[in-house]
Amino acid sequence: MPSRYNPVRGLLLSVGGLLSRAGLVERDRIARATDLAWPRIVTGLARMSKSTADVAMVGLALGQVAIAGVGFAAPFWGLAFALGGGVGGGTIGMVSQRFGADAREELGLTVTTSAAVVVAVTLPLTAAFWYAPGTLIGLVGSGADAVAYGEQYLRTLAVGVPFAALNLVGSRTLVGADDAYSPMILRGGGAVVNVVLNAVLIFGLGMGVVGAAVGTVIANVLVTAALAVGLVRGGLPGLDFPVRIPLSRPFVDASLARDLASVASPLVGSNLARTGAQFPRLFIVGLFGPTVVSAYVVALRVRALLDTPNWGLSLASSSLVGQALGENDESDATRWAQTVFRLGVGVYVAVALGLAPFSRQISRLFVEDAAGLGLVTTFVAVACLTVVFRGVDGGATGPLRASGDTRWPFYSQLAGMYLFALPIAYAGVSVPAIGVSALYASMLAETAVPAAVTYHRFRSGAWRAVSRSYRPDAALDD
């Protein structure tokens, strides 16, 4: 895997170097974790920049009401990633353990089983988004124009749902086998194609929100096709994959499917808890009016962009910890978990402190009128600060995902979103004196509570014992 210098890799190594000099991590482990993580972070930056650019393009072309419409549709589209990411999270743990144990035949069958499962669980979403987008958007949206934009956007996105989920399974398969570079090239390239298509469709052809959705669908189909061909052939021109999936029956194994369901179900639940809470919260935010909805949507996109270190660091932790567990080396797995956790928290602190002072400049990329700029700026500043808790959560979730101890991240999301974030947000409506300030506090609770819960479970070390039930037979027989 190429390890050439780039700003992302440089940031990871710089933070890791400071931690190493403080005696908190081992330098050689930082280097390996960085080489595995930085391509995934670049992928995340590309894809989240694409999503952020979508909102900016739509806002510049159609105004803040269109941003609100896209925002109303976004959680529905997020369900594809909640399902795909949950199944993919189970896949990376199972793949990394089998890769570490050199159980190649079982590894290939794990991937095809995961692909079959993710298609089965996402096709109903495609049908719902295609046939009833107006009904769905109407459940959370307010304002006839914003709802109409959301309906157009969601119906078009319906076609891309299974492809978006398959992308996650394919990319996490490669990361679990120590290859984060190939998914970066393919998914990052897809994001670039997406941005170019959107610019042409939105501004050149005047297709508005439909153009933004069409670009997203085409890009996801292209990336899925490339991952599928590469996994079957063992690579693509210029890219060598560490995993090759034979086209021989059976494609699905019932025992592996049960293990996958056991590991992935809590991850899916955790993702759904996070995504699902956006529906009632968007409804609550909608009560404040389209200007607040627009500012809130922008803040979420900015936070998603700043949260991209987890794309690499959390999954790198899962891969490295899973491989060590596959070799039955729990001590090494613990050292990897601690190393990546500390690196991740350091990176998130650096990102938050570096960008929070520029919240106003960031906000100008989305809105032009002075009236809305101040509100967007405050939301963006809050997003910059709360992202640190996402770093803690992601760093603690990585080892839990690798070990199969995935229930606690699920519990943490339920607690953060439903016991704290939603009631706090609603307080802004029921108590006018609190107002929009409740939404800022809600964003804080949404990230801080899950961080505390997952960190507690990570520190307990119970995940090491849980992993013994999911390790491959090849490793346990040694």
Q: What is the pLDDT of residue 476?
A: 43
Q: What is the pLDDT of residue 101?
A: 65
Q: Considering the chain, what is the average pLDDT of its residues?
A: 84
Cα 67 to Cα 53: distance, rounded to the nearest angstrom: 11
Q: What is the pLDDT of residue 390?
A: 93
Cα 24 to Cα 345: distance, rounded to the nearest angstrom: 12
Per-residue pLDDT band for 2 (boundaries 50, 70, 90) equals very low
> Which positions ≥6 away from 297 have C-beta within 8 Å?
55, 67, 68, 70, 71, 74
Instruction: For residues 45-62, give the mean pLDDT.
Output: 75
Write out the E strands in 234-291.
235-236, 239-240
Which tokens go with 410? 């699920």
Candidate from 31-40, 96-105, 173-182, 220-229 with smallest mean pLDDT = 96-105
Greater confidence (246 vs 197) lies with 197
Q: Which residue has the tokens 């699920």?
A: 410
CA distances (Å), 313 to each of 2, 173, 235, 320, in order?
17, 16, 24, 10
| Contact predicate 390/345, CB 8 Å | no
pLDDT tens, 189-212? 888 888 888 889 888 888 888 888
In the predicted structure, residue 130 carries a pLDDT above the cut 50? yes
Candidate from 62-76, 91-105, 399-413 with smallest mean pLDDT = 91-105
Q: How many CA atoms lie within 13 A of 243 on its CB side?
A: 35
**DSSP-derived secondary structure letter, 160:** G
Instruction: For residues 438-455, give the mean pLDDT.
Output: 94
Instruction: For residues 176-195, give the mean pLDDT.
Output: 82
pLDDT tens, 297-330? 888 888 988 998 987 898 788 888 888 888 888 8
Q: Give the largest CA-CA distance in the chain.
A: 67
Candidate from 212-221, 317-326, 377-386 with smallest mean pLDDT = 317-326
| Contact predicate 153/210, CB 8 Å | yes
Peptide bond into 309 cis (omega under 30): no
In the predicted structure, residue 449 carries a pLDDT above the cut 90? yes
Q: What is the pLDDT of residue 474?
A: 41
CA distances (Å), 144 to each of 66, 68, 130, 141, 148, in order?
11, 11, 19, 9, 6
Instruction: For residues 357-368, give the mean pLDDT.
Output: 81
Of the ranges 17-21, 278-282, 360-364, 369-373, which is most confident? 17-21
Q: Is the pTM of this model over 0.75?
A: no
| CA neighbor of 78 nearest in space, from 20, 117, 136, 21 | 136
| Contact predicate 299/384, CB 8 Å | no
- Percent of the chain whose predicted confidence (pLDDT) is above 70: 94
